[in-house]
Structures are given as structure tokens and as C-alpha cells.
Amino acid sequence: MRLFLVFAILWGLFYNVAYGKGSLDIDMKLKALNKPALKTIKSEDGDIIDCIDIYKQHAFDHPALRNHKIQMKPSIEFGTKKTTIPNNGSSELITSQIWSKSGNCPKGTIPEAVLIALGFNFIGAQSDINVWNPPRVQASDYSSAQIWLLGGLSDTFESIEAGWAVNPRVFGDSRTRLFTYWTKDGYTKTGCVNLLCAGFVQTTTKLALGAAIEPVSTTSQKQHYITVSMFLDPNSGNWWLTCAKNVIGYWPGTLFTYLKHSATAVQWGGEVHSPNVGKKPHTRTSMGSGQWASYLWAQACYHTNIRIKDYSMQIKYPTYLSEYADEYDCYSTKLHRKTYMSEPHFYFGGPGQNSRCP
């Protein structure tokens, strides 16, 4: 199995190439997740949300977190520095999930979705990602739009990741859902999606990892987006994740070696993972909206308001960016400025199998 990456990238001192994720043993992971629910909420969209004791979440099964005390909020904030970019349509920030209309998790619990720049020393990254439901995602594949923060050596790199994904194998359907991922050995033995293994500590009662995101964007209409940011709390060494104006939780610094202090690379973009990548016939799974990056606003998927943070504590647009697509006849990228003076959108995506990508 191989990994597709389409990204604008800030290359770090040691990071050279990303290798493919290995497959997850989903059944084994689900058995390990058998945590008692203090409250169960049935969402109008069919999702089942269990509210579990915050100190009984799966993160604390990790040996490095045996005596961990939960940090309920970061000691610093990522901050804001957004640019209003002229476009051909309007956009709207998504701030909640459908399940929250049916109830809320009580204090002391967390919601769990139950579904069988040239440089280094980055301490944060952020972007707005418009949300789509990519068509034709095959049962054995997944398609995502996300941010990566990476550190370490090319063969044993560490990574924390977040964004939206369609993953039938994990979630059992083809809906667009909020996800996280982490690894400390280049996806060899460690890490997994959301709370399917010990590691990520969730603190919010308002959003559920793995729950559906709606509404999604449609062609030539209003674009719906989420703001995703990941940043290091230098006082605790924990990497915090925020989404849709909510602090979701954190990856404890004790999980990592290189990422304990900073990241050496940041990536924005999308990913298609399939056993039929690089083969004929190529997978039909699309990326982003399913349209080429050159279709631009209200047609293609994008990252905008791209920001980094380093130890200067400044929030800024990265100075050095480069674009890359594994198979440009199947998926594409475009760093596009509407005017010479405007800040660019980073567009990406594509249909997968097509006349150029048989």
C-alpha cells in the first residue's frame, strides 16, 4: 500500500520523504475501546455518541501516560492572524456537529463517536480547509484534507495530523468526518486514527472525533470550512488541537522524541490511500472535491489563511513554500493568487482514475 501526498511543504533540516501508512487492525482496536458510557446520545444523522469518563478515555491505556494529569486547557493560545481574500463567492465557518442538536455530554466526560518553509523549530500551524464529500471513495480506500506537523528522521519520523476524511473502512460509511492521526515511527508500529489507540487526550465536550461534519461545500455555492490549528504549549510540552473554535484536546509531549520540542516540517494538502495507487486500473477514489486544483474557488478543495508559528511567537504566512503531487495525472496542486498583492489559496485534488490516469 502506498501513500499519496499533495501538499505545500516547509522542508525541515532532517525531513526528506513521507512513507505510506500501514493498514489498521480495526477489529482489534475496537475491542480495546470498550469503555463504559455515562450517557449515550443518538444523533438525528444516525451517529451514536457515547459520553465517557474523561479519565477513562483510551489515551490513558498508553504506558507513557500512566500517571498523566489532564491539562484542561493550553497555557497559551495559537492566536489569530487571518486575511480576508477576495473570491467569487461566500464562505461560512462550521462550528458544530449535528449530534450536538440532540444533547450534550456532561462535565467530566468527553464525546466519542461509536462507529463499527525552509526552516525548523515550528511550534504551530493553521489553515482554513473547505469541507467536501469526495465522490467515489472505494471501500478499501480513504481520502482526506489535512495538516501535518512532522519531526525526526526520514525513516522514523514523528507526525501529528488533523482535518477531515472519508474512510469507509474505519467509519463504516462514506460521510465526511473529523479526524486526527499520530505516529512516532513513520507509521510502522505506532499511531492510529482518532481514539482507536492510546495517545491523544480529548478534553472537549462539544465535538466528537469521528463524528460527521455538515454542511459540506457544493460546486459554485457557499463554501463551508473548518479552521484547524495545532500548536505546542511550551510550558507543558503538549501539542494542542483546535477546530471550529473549540479546543479538542492534545497529544502529550511524552509520546514523542523529536516533536517534544518542535516540528521540522509542516504540510498542508490532501491524501488518498489505496491498494490500487500506482497500479492499473488506478483507484477511482477522488481527492478534495474530486475536481482539479486548476478549477479554483467553489470548485476545488483548498487551504487558505495558511499560518505557522515558531519560537519568535509570531503568527505568519510561511516564506518558503513548494508544491508536490505524487501522480499529477491523477491529482493536482495549485498555489494561486487572485492578484499579485493578494495572499494565495492552496488548491488541491482530482478525480483519481481518468483518461490521463488509467
Report domain extents, the chain: 2-349
Task: Tell me if residue 280 falls in helix, strand or coil.
Answer: coil
CA 107 to CA 55: how far, in whole Å? 12
Spans of the chain, pLDDT less than 70 = 1-36, 46, 80-89, 95, 109-120
Res 145: pLDDT:
95
Backbone angles phi, psi at 240, to 5 degrees: -95, 145
The residues carrying an active-site annotation are 161, 271
Beta bridge partners, 336, equal 345
- pLDDT value, residue 96: 72
pLDDT of residue 104: 81
Question: Distance between CA atoms of 20 and 157, rounded to whole angstroms?
Answer: 12
Rg, the chain, Cα only: 19
Pair type for strands 91-93 and 223-233: parallel
Q: Work out the percent of the chain whose per-residue pLDDT is above 70.
A: 83
pTM for this model (two decimals)? 0.75
* Ramachandran angles phi, psi of 24, nearest 5°: -95, 140
Q: What is the pLDDT of residue 178?
A: 95
How far apart CA 119 and CA 122 sit, in angstroms, is 8
